Chains A and B, each alone.
Chain A
Amino acid sequence: MFRYILRRLLQMVLAFFGTTLIVYALTFAGQGDPIQALAGERPVTPAQRAYLTEKYHLDATGVGGFFYRYFDYVKNLLQGNLGESLTGRNIGDILQQAWPVTVRLALIALAVAIIFGVTAGVLAGIRRASIFDNSTLVLTLLVLGIPTIVLAPLAQYFLGVKWQLFPPTAGSDPTFYALLLPGIVLGSLSLATALRLTRASVAENLRADYVRTARSKGLVKRRIVVVHVLRNSLIPVVTFLGVELGNLMSGAIITEGVFNIPGVGFNLFRGIRTEDGPLVVGIVSVLVVVYLVSNLVVDVLYAVLDPRIRYE
């Protein structure tokens, strides 16, 4: 197991450089005149142009110049310096402010998925083909079918503006209550998937041979379900939720945008919109690490939960 984790960590290094290189290339290679993009509509004086060219090493051109700037960027990155955005703010500071908000939002969304999705999934799996099972099927298909870009404004309008049950927007430094509605909207997709997955897994395990054995041992039904069936059927669900937490942590661009939540996704979206290359690359680089680490944790967790899985 230790050797497996070590090997995965080494693979992560490769994956990290690969993805940052691609993101860096996509962000900067296509840019016409980065200095003009930086200045927007305003004219750029020759002195400013010279200063910025010097600062961003724009004098080196072509593929060589690109790699020169990329390695320069990576060098700073490895020293923990994410650089500055085009607006002159330290990207590390931006993330430090945005991340706690996104993590809170992600945890609310995950809690919604676990509390409602997994519970309803277990019940639907036990009572297959019941009214409850069928209504969850319809509801989850509906949720899965509505994109967040539709669901989020709808929830905001009805629950936030019209009936005023929740604050319609979060604003800076949001409270738990202000994050609740966005959390539910964000979590509804994970909820629906978790429900379908749990239901299928429970239904399948209830038919397994070991359940027949447990019954022939004369165990009570509750114990068969809670101990034998759930222990087996929650393995894929826990794995899914682990991956999902990684996804949620990397920010929800649409939800954070609609509800005006100053999280990671919100900043990333702003970076893309204002063509702020350093900001986009900085955030994505950190997201890559978050994603890689959460995937490793899930794989290790999988081996812990299922004794049949052994990593060499």
Chain B
Amino acid sequence: MTINPTPASATPEGGHLLELRDLHVEFRTNEGVARVINGVSYHLDAGETLAVLGESGSGKSVTAQAIMGILDTPPAFVRSGQILYQGQDLLTRSEEQRRQVRGKEIAMIFQDALSALNPVFPVGWQIGETLRQRAGMSRGDARRRAVELMDLVKIPGAAKRIGDYPHQFSGGMRQRVMIAMALALDPKVLIADEPTTALDVTVQAQIMDLLADLRRELNMAMILITHDLGVVAGVADRIAVMYAGRIVEHADVRSLYKAPAHPYTKGLLESIPRLDVRGQELSTIKGLPPNLMRIPSGCPFHPRCPYVQQVCVDEVPHDLVLGDGRTSACHFAQEVRDDSVAR
């Protein structure tokens, strides 16, 4: 079977455009097995932006690569779970069928555009390659379309710069080239894996604005992977917070910022420097993220958590539904949220 390339209406009634169900991924290395993703579930509907937030090693990029089917196997193995795209499980598809989905249905942009672009080919060639190889365009057509795409992502003098190599561009312009390449086949889902991490602060804002504008114009759905809470606020509709390969909190942006219901999210929000509160020491989350080969018992966050009780050591918390589609994987979700409101 093939994946139907018509818009979101093809999604079965009541289903989501993209849905992850209880995904488990592990890395089998010589030192042992690292459980990188431990039961991640989230969904994405047409035209919305989901931010996936978490520190390095929390599994947010691995989840994205599992969706794309570009994990390096070995060492990475998808142990169980489902990745439903338009109602069909990608994990049961053949490699060839998954390849057809890449770029055309779900496209991805990466963190460091300098290393993510091939250093020895001109950028126009690299954008055009997708069009030639995937859409069967002629050399000339692909070139013309590549210029259009570079115009779309607002690269000044696109027609003149099409023959330039990646190293001849600034960081921001390089990331725009990446975005142009990802948009070549009009994907319905764009996964942006820390698209602004390698950039200057001013350029970061420009790229985020560009992504938000393009998402609206092209009516895509977007998964924005980031560790930067500041980046998320203006762009995302919903946020999924990841810790040790799990989604610990899931909420719409507004209510999450107003009253986080997981101690980890709360800690993250409190560690953002604020311009309106002066003279206070910046709070941090104590300790380090867990070693994924030895994830702590019970709630993986318990060694660092200020709310920790015996139950946290003994029992893995289930997603607690808090209403308005909010969930929090914390035994004391209510208390944490009420604390946050009171503050």
Interface residues, chain A, with chain B CB atoms under 8 Å away: 207-210, 212-220, 223, 228, 231-232, 235, 305-308
Other-chain residue from A208, A209, A218, A307 in contact with B99 (beta carbon distance below 8 A): A218
| Contact with A220, one of B65, B70, B99 (Cβ below 8 angstroms) | B99
Asked if B103 contacts A216 (CB within 8 A), the reply is yes
User: Is B332 interfacial (CB-CB < 8 Å)?
Assistant: no
Residue numbers in A under 8 Å from B298 (CB-CB): none
A216 and B68: CB pair below 8 A?
yes
Q: Known A220-B99, A307-B165; judge A209-B120 contact (CB<8 A).
A: no
B100 within 8 A of A: yes
Tell me the smallest distance from the CB of B46 to a CB of chain A, in Å: 21
B101 close to A (CB within 8 Å) = yes
B319 at the interface (CB under 8 A from A): no
Q: Chain A contacts of B115 at CB under 8 A?
A: 208-210
Additional A-B contact list (20), CB under 8 Å, known A210-B116, A307-B119, A307-B165? A209-B110, A209-B115, A210-B115, A212-B110, A212-B116, A213-B110, A213-B178, A215-B102, A216-B68, A216-B102, A216-B110, A217-B130, A218-B104, A219-B130, A220-B99, A223-B133, A231-B121, A307-B120, A307-B167, A308-B120
In this complex, what residue of A is CB-closest to B131?
Answer: A217
User: Of residues A210, A212, A216, A306, which shows the largest number of chain B Cβ atoms within 10 Å of its Cβ?
Assistant: A216
Q: Which of A212, A231, A308 contacts B70 (CB 8 A)?
A: A212
Q: Which residues of A contact B112 (CB under 8 A)?
A: 209
Among A218, A231, A232, A306, point to the contact of B100 (Cβ < 8 A): A218
A-B contact count (CB 8 A): 77
Contact string against A for B residues 108-136, beta-carbon threshold 8 Å, 1 for contact and 0 otherwise: 10101001111111000000011001100
Contact call B118/A228, Cβ cutoff below 8 A = yes
Minimum CB–CB distance for A96 against chain B, Å = 41
Shortest distance between the CB of B276 and any CB in chain A (Å): 40
For the residues of A in contact with B, the DSSP-based class is: helix
Instruction: Please state if A231 and B107 are interface contacts (CB–CB under 8 Å).
Output: no
B119 touches A216 (CB 8 A): no
How far is it, in angstroms, between the C-alpha of A134 and the C-alpha of B65 when the chains are bound?
30
Q: Please, could you name 10 A-B residue pairs with CB atoms under 8 Å apart, sorted by A? A: A210-B118, A210-B119, A213-B118, A214-B118, A217-B134, A218-B104, A218-B185, A219-B134, A306-B119, A307-B167
A-B CB proximity, top 9 nearest: A218-B102, A218-B103, A209-B115, A210-B118, A307-B165, A216-B108, A215-B70, A209-B116, A213-B116
B70-104 CB contacts (< 8 Å) to partner A: 70, 72, 99-104
Asked if A210 and B117 sit within 8 Å, CB to CB, the answer is yes
Q: Which residue of B lies closest to A207 (CB)?
A: B72
B residues less than 8 Å from A235 (CB atoms): 120
Residues of B near A213 (CB, < 8 A) are: 110, 116-118, 178, 181
Min CB gap A93→B, angstroms: 46
B197 CB to closest chain A CB (Å) equals 13
Residue of B nearest to A205 (CB): B118
Closest to A208 in B: B115
A86 to chain B, nearest CB (A): 53
CB proximity of A129 to chain B, nearest CB, Å: 10
- Once the chains bind, are A306 and B120 in contact (CB under 8 Å)? yes
With A216-B103, A217-B103, A218-B104 given, is the CB distance from A232 to B118 under 8 Å?
A: yes
Which chain B residue shows the least CB distance to A211?
B118
Query: How many whole Å from A238's CB to the nearest CB in chain B?
Result: 12
Closest CB in chain B relative to A205 CB, distance in Å: 10
Contacts of B99 in A (CB 8 A): 218-220
In the assembly, what is the distance between CA of A235 and CA of B119, in Å?
Answer: 12
**Most B C-beta atoms less than 10 A away, residue of A210, A219, A308:** A210
Tell me the complex Cα distance, A4–B68, Å.
46
- In the complex, the chain B residue whose C-beta lies closest to that of A229 is B118
Q: How distant is the Cα of A308 from the Cα of B164 in the complex, in angstroms?
A: 11
Inter-chain CA distance A307–B72, complex, in Å, is 29
B102 cross-chain contacts in A, Cβ below 8 A: 215-218
- Within the complex, what minimum Cβ distance (angstroms) separates A292 from chain B? 28
In whole Å, how far is B68's beta carbon from the nearest beta carbon of chain A?
A: 5
A160 to B107 Cα, complex, angstroms = 61
Q: Which residues of B contact A218 (CB under 8 A)?
A: 99-104, 130, 133-134, 185
Return the chain B residue nearest A216 by Cβ.
B108
Residue among B101, B115, B120, B185 with most chain A CB within 10 A: B120
* Neighbouring A residues of B104 by C-beta, 8 Å: 218
Q: Name B146-182 residues within 8 Å CB distance of A.
A: 165, 167, 178, 181-182
**B-side contacts of A208, CB under 8 Å:** 115
A228 to B133, CA, bound (A): 13
Kindly identify which residue among B108, B110, B129, B165 contacts A219, using a CB–CB cutoff of 8 Å.
B129
Task: Select from chain A the residue with minimum beta-carbon distance to B70.
Answer: A215
Residues of chain A lying within 8 A (CB to CB) of residue B133: 217-220, 223
| CB-defined contacts of B101 to chain A, threshold 8 Å | 218
Q: What is the minimal beta-carbon distance from B93 to any residue of chain A, in angstroms? A: 13
Could you say which residues of chain A place their CB within 8 Å of the CB of B181? 213, 217
Q: How far is the CA of A217 from the CA of B102 in the complex (A)?
A: 6
Q: Chain A residues near B107: list those with CB within 8 A.
A: 216
**Residue of B70, B118, B130, B185 with highest tally of chain A CB at under 10 A:** B118
Complex Cα spacing A238 to B295, Å = 47
Q: How far is the CA of A214 from the CA of B118 in the complex (A)?
A: 9
User: What 1/0 mask marks residues of chain B from 202 to 226 whose CB sits below 8 Å from any chain A CB?
Assistant: 0000000000000000000000000
**Distance of A220 Cα from B97 Cα, bound (Å):** 11
Instruction: Give CA–CA (A21, B185) in the complex, Å.
Output: 65
> Which residues of chain B come closer than 8 Å to A217, judged between CB atoms?
102-103, 129-130, 133-134, 181
